[in-house]
Every structure is written in C-alpha cells, then in structure tokens.
Structure 1
C-alpha cells in the first residue's frame, strides 16, 4: 500500500566553527544529545484541534483512533472529539455563530447555508498532492464564485439488502435465496404457512411515524433507473408511476396474510424488533441495521442478509445507490487549517477507515480501507461483511434536488396506497408526481431570490440539476452536470 510522502521543510542555518585551539572546550556527547532533544521538543509548537461529530455509534472506533493520532503525529497536534447527539445541528450552528466553530466537522445541517455564509472553505490548498490525487474520486466538489473545489469527502455509505431468518428459511424447506420479487412472495408464503400464526414471511412497516417505506423505495427506484426515489434524469422530471407494480405486490402480500400483521401501525424500530425476536422471515434492511438488530434489539435468531431483489420485470435499469453522504468539512475560522488537513488525511487513510469497518460502526467505500480491513479482527457481527458495498453500486452524493413540497410525501402516499386497497393507484401517483414537480420548481424560484441576495455565488443555488448523457448504472460524472434555471427546467417538462 502506497504511503503518503511527508513534506520535509529544510531550514538553512549558519554555523560558527570554533577551532579547538582557541581555548573553547568541545561539547560532551551528553551535551550534544541534550541539545538535540531540546531542539526536537521545541521544534513544533503544540496545536489543539476540535473534531465535531454526531455519530455516537462510531465512538468505539473513533476514540482509540484519535488517541493514536494524538500519540503518533509528528506535528504536536492534539485533537479533542466533541460529540453531540439529538439536535446536533442546533449545537453546531450555535458554536459557529458564536465564533467557536470546531476545526473539522463531520457534517453540517445545510451545505448551501454553510457555503453562502462562508462558514466552510475548500480543503484543496491544505492537502498533500499525492493524497489529493488518491482521494479525488471520493471527493465532494462544488463550484463557488467560479472555483470548483473540494469541500468534503464521500467515504461512507449505507447499503440495501433483505435481512432473513436462517432458521425460518430452513424450517420452510427453502434452500435457495430468492432473487426476484415473485420468489420473495413465494418464500414469504411458505414461511407463513409453516409458521401457522407464530411467525410470518415478510415484514412491512408503513406507519406514518418512523416508516421503513423510504428504505424500500430507494433501492426499488434505483433498480428502475431513478435517482432520489423518483427523479428521472433522462426526462428531467419526477415520475412515481414505476412504483405501481410494487404497490400491487405489497397489497397482495398483505391481503394474502404473508406479512406480519399491523404494518400500518408498525414503525421501523418495531419491525426490526419483531425480526430480531424471530417472528418475521424477511425484512427490507439497510447496513446500519446490523448493529441495531444484534445489539439494540438483542437478536435471538440466526440471521443473514441477501442481495436486494432485481427489478420486478426482471431487468435492472439502474444500479443500487450507496445512500452516501459528504463528510469532514473545514471550518473557515480555524486557525490551524494545515493541521486540520493532516487530521483529515489520517481519518481517510487505511488504518482509521478499516478500524471503523472492522468494528461494524461505519461502512467505508474506500478501496484501501476494504483491503486493510482484511488484516484486522473480524467484526463481532457476522452479517457486517454481507452488507459490504459491491463494485456495481454507485455514489449518489452529487445529486442536489431541493423540493418545496405541499401535501404528503412519497413515503406517506405509498404507505396509504398499500394499506387502503380502495385508493386508485394511477391517479394517486400522478398527483404525487405533479406535486413533486411543482415543488422542485417552487424551491428553485425561492433559491433564485436567495442567490441574488447572497455575496457568494454557488453554482447550484437557485438552479435545478440536470445530467447530460445520464446512465443510471454509473456514478454521475461531475463534468456532465449542468444547472438549469427554474423556467428552463419547466420548459423541458413533458
């Protein structure tokens, strides 16, 4: 594995040579060593940094690795980890506005707001050249005032799978994992029949509060060729009609009694708790469920995960998104930006990233982390490696689509359509698409006013993102992104 080359600053010094015949005694070896030690100890002034994070579940990996950085870095840098959970956005914004912003921030509430107010600045001027080249494919870049720079990094992700109960599959005589939705239905039916009311084949959560519907629609939409659940970049429009055959399938599963009872009142936590208790054969799952099912809900069953089923017509039009996000922002008010860059390089390198991966706290997508993790102790949870990203998955962090939505969102609408068979699917989805398209237009208009009043010109503010030569099976190429005004976008609508 290639290591980052350290920059060495050589300082020229003028030495006065003293002749031995001038009555000046030569220094002893102890004096020389003491002098070297004194020079070494005073060579670097101490630097203190603050790293702000909201990821309480990752602290078992973060704390020892930050301590390792504090002990091993050659620049006398000491990092303090500031953890805020719950309403962490409010705490962070308060710190920023009071002039006490942490040097490095795991996230910000609103990137546009942070850019507009110059709370954050690019990393590019502070990172080492070799590292910039290495991390470039995983960088989050934005054009501000005409300059296209790196403001954060996309290193973590959440993957989509189906979690399944090994014991219930075995009892039902299922020897091959389902690969299609028809096979999912058949497996769920067999498990339910074998359970005879004690357990059921499939779990749905469609409660308005804490529904798991988004974690169903996101991977389904991705395989149907959509981004952000229902946006079609080829036609530059929202279109939720693709969900119809899935809604019909879930209605059938509910009416046939192969789903766990009470989906309309069951939130995502309740769904995972019932699965952990061994009462459900399969549930839609995201990689963060690994620790939740095993630890939070203390699973008593033997369980694993399988690949997400292919598109319902048997042809995947797109690739699964990683539900990734941009992290590690540099505070513009930091007094130690070069030191902050050293910390971030450490956090993005193989040792730190693989530590989080091996401890089941974060799903790194960096290839050097995946390779290094092979040399570390296995995760205490066997399912963790099964959630690992695969090469055919794509990043989605470059997608910026703001919507000023009126009425129910897609999750609530789909949940209602599943729960109420009398609702007309076609008209409901058409209305949903219409409201989303009106919402994206209205949001762009609102942002146009913000952009006009802002001192900072952000390329996407007040615009609607479009992608030339869009291919839903590949990551979006930044060079193919363009931004349309609200009216330009509206003119393209079918």
Structure 2
C-alpha cells in the first residue's frame, strides 16, 4: 500500500521537475571503464546477473542496491536528481511509473544505444509499457500477464470440471462455489484498482490517453462500462469475499483451506502462492484469463517492471551495457533460473520454459499457460504520468464502498476521474 505522505513528496518533486527539467550531472563514457555502476531496484534476481557481466566486462563493477519499496525508490531518485548527487546509473520502475519520469526528462532516451534492435524480442505490450511518445525509456525486466489461479479440488466439489472460459461462465461458477457454504468464494476483492483495470483492459476499454503533457480520462466508453458493470454485479450478488484483504493472514488461510477458490491476477503469483498456501500444494492450477466473448484470446496485464537510465546518471554507456545484459542478453538465464518471469519472447517460447512441470501446480506446465497469456495481452494501454498518486487516491475513495456497500464502482470511478483532472492540472499537465 502506498502512503499519502510519500505520494505527496513525489508530486512535489514532479512540480519542480516540470519547471526545471532534468539536467545531467554526469558525463557520457565509453562503457569500457574502469567504472562502478550503481543499480537501484527491489528485484533480487538482478544481482544474479552481476558475476557473469563482470567476468565479461572486467573494467565494470556493479553494485546492486535495494532502495526500498517502489515508492521509496521513486522519492529517493527524485531527491537525488534535485540535489544533483547520488543519482544511480540504473533504476527500476513499475511500468506505470515510466511516464512520470520520462515526460519531464528525468529518464534517458535509449534510442541512441540502438535499443530498437532488441524490440522484437520483447512481448509487444511490455514494449508499449516502456515507450512514451514514440521513444523508449526503459527495458522490460519482469512481467505480469493476467491468469486465473484456481483450486481444482474446490472447483470439483462445486461440480465444476473445467475452469471458466468466459466471464459468463465465471459468474455461473461463482454461484456454484458460493453454494458450498457462506465462506466459499470464487474471488476476493477489497478495492484492488489493478484488478479492475485488468478487466477494463481486456474488454477493450482505454480510460487513459496520454499525448505528451495532454491527458484524457474517460470511464464511460462501452467497453469500460461493460467491465465495471460485470464486477458490480458480482459484488451486488455477494459472490465476492469483500472482508479478506489480499496478502493478509486471512488471505493465506482461505487459500490454504480452499474457501477462496480462485485468484485472477498477474502471473507472478506462481512464485508467491507456494509459500502462502503450502497446505494446498497440488490443488492449484493455472488457466488463461476468462474471455468476454467465447473463442477470443485477449489478455491484460497486472504488474511488472522495467529498468531505465536516469538522465543524470554518470556512466550511461556502461549502464546500458549492463541493462541490456540482464534484461535481454547473457544475464537473462540466471534471472529466469532464480524465478523471474520475463517478457522475453525467446525465453517464453523455448522448449525448456514451455515444457517445465511445476509440482506445486500438480505437475502442470505452467510456463506455457503464462507464455500464451503474455502473447495475448492487448496493446494500446496507457497510464497517466501521475498514476502513483492516483492509485493511492483511488484506495481512499473505494474503501468506504467496500466497507458499507453503499454507492457504486461507476460512481467512484467518476469521482476518481474528477480528482485526477484537478490534480493533474495542478501539476502542470493539461487534463480533461
């Protein structure tokens, strides 16, 4: 969860950066060293690529630093840029944060390094995530194609032999599962904006459009309205557990005992679920995201991150060498072996990845399901450059609705829209 205080620090930094721009305090280098690179990020697998890179580039040393949570890192990076010192050579960004740093000039345009030569090796939607106004500002590092994680045993108890292929089937299955008992649900939700946006994304809604500093926000188009209305129906009919919060002890308990029968979320749950629901080992399976129309193969994204080079970094050429190495080159295999789910097509289509079975998921070849989900993620999605602030505000708005059941998701989204318009215009953007 993001803290309002931290979000306000970020917004304050954005005001000054929009006025002053981001200037480079470092100089370009040949990339041959001797230099020491500082890499900020919270992805533990990045360090796995360091030994191989340093062996191949003996004049470049790499120091990977965990700068805290994503919000902590963004705030620290803004502060370092404003202070003109302590700026890392490479930094990690959630996909939605890339525009925030790119638009005011705080990230290096990677075009000068020939980044387009690796474009086709990345999942299309992931490449879209790191592209702002036609320029590439980061390289995709990990990915969250939406999939459905479901407890096969609970489904069978409810008379369900196959995971739902459509959202209509999902709705019918939700009623069957809830009929098992008052504590049985097909889903839990206490206001996860990324889940709701993934429904909208897959349905074809594009509520945010960004063109430079111009931002348009609209939650009333038919595709968006369809997705919102569907989830409102699920909530109205009591088919969703709105008392259990994700990542809580209660969430773990319901996953373990099977009363929470499914979770529609990013593919990264494969690395988390075995620890959180150890007692359900062998029961869970992974299926594609249910479709809005029978026979479609459309997906969405929930989570994922990238790495870019701050415009004020001191060793940009060497930084790009390492950036390309661990996101696309020789360091990729060590990260995949350590559990990273990467949006790299050669990895996702490889026989080793596709054919590997997972004991926790009953021997299922989970990689092939997630690889297909990555390919199916629809492109064209955009986040506003102030989304870090916006998602905290959404949480504040939606919490009373989930606590009381009063109001509607559509009404909350409209309130959110108005707040984003006011805030974005205050920050120097043109928002309508």
In proportion to residue count, which structure has more helix? 2
Deviates more, 1:287-296 or 1:352-361: 352-361
* Pair 319,399 (structure 1): closer, same or farther in 2 beyond 3 Å: farther
- Alpha-carbon contact 1:325-1:397 (below 8 Å) kept: no
Q: What is the alpha-carbon distance in structure 2 between the residues aligned to residue 324 and residue 267 of structure 1?
A: 15
Structure 2: segments with no counterpart, 5+ residues:
1-31, 211-215
* Pair 177,331 (structure 1): closer, same or farther in 2 beyond 3 Å: closer
- Alpha-carbon contact 2:148-2:262 (below 8 Å) kept: yes
Is 1:446 the counterpart of 2:426? The answer is: yes
Q: What is the alpha-carbon distance in structure 1 between the residues aligned to residue 207 and residue 230 of structure 2?
A: 19
- Specify which of 46, 50, 57 is matched with residue 66 of structure 1: 50
* Mapping 1:42-441, distance limit 5 Å: 46-55=34-43, 59=44, 61-73=45-57, 76-86=59-69, 87-96=72-81, 97=83, 99-107=85-93, 114-115=101-102, 118-127=105-114, 130-131=117-118, 138=127, 140-142=130-132, 149-193=135-179, 195-196=180-181, 200-206=184-190, 211=191, 213-227=192-206, 237-239=218-220, 241-242=225-226, 243-254=228-239, 263-264=242-243, 266-269=245-248, 270-301=250-281, 302-311=283-292, 314=293, 319-323=298-302, 327-361=306-340, 363-372=341-350, 374=352, 378=356, 382=361, 384-385=366-367, 386-388=369-371, 389-395=373-379, 398-400=382-384, 402=386, 409=394, 412-413=397-398, 416=401, 420=405, 423=406, 425=408, 429=410, 431-441=411-421
* Pair 204,333 (structure 1): closer, same or farther in 2 beyond 3 Å: closer
Q: What's the TM-score, normalizing by structure 2?
A: 0.71
- Residue 332 of structure 1: how far off its partner (Å): 3.0
Q: What is the alpha-carbon distance in structure 2 between the residues aligned to residue 106 and residue 360 of structure 1?
A: 17
Report the structure number with the largest CA radius of gyration.
Answer: 1
Aligned to 1:490: none
Q: Deviations over 1:220-257 (max 9, x none)?
A: 212332135999xxx96222643224312332244xxx
* Pair 309,218 (structure 1): closer, same or farther in 2 beyond 3 Å: same
Structure 1: segments with no counterpart, 5+ residues:
1-43, 449-461, 465-485, 487-494
* Pair 407,133 (structure 1): closer, same or farther in 2 beyond 3 Å: closer
Q: What is the alpha-carbon distance in structure 1 between the residues aligned to residue 232 and residue 102 of structure 2?
A: 40
- Alpha-carbon contact 1:275-1:281 (below 8 Å) kept: yes
Query: Equivalent residue of 1:374, what SS?
Result: helix
Q: Deviations over 1:327-382 (max 9, x none)?
A: 22213333322211211121222543344344433x32221232457269947654
* Pair 443,317 (structure 1): closer, same or farther in 2 beyond 3 Å: farther
Which has the higher relative contact order, 1 or 2, with Cα contacts under 8 A spaced 6 or more apart?
Answer: 2
* Pair 300,129 (structure 1): closer, same or farther in 2 beyond 3 Å: closer
Q: What is the alpha-carbon distance in structure 2 between the residues aligned to residue 409 and residue 358 of structure 1?
A: 36
Q: What is the alpha-carbon distance in structure 1 between the residues aligned to residue 164 and residue 123 of structure 2?
A: 38
Q: What's the TM-score, normalizing by structure 1?
A: 0.63
* Mapping 1:21-32, distance limit 5 Å: none
Q: What is the alpha-carbon distance in structure 2 between the residues aligned to residue 136 and residue 103 of structure 1?
A: 25
- Alpha-carbon contact 1:354-1:364 (below 8 Å) kept: no
CA RMSD of aligned residues (A): 4.1
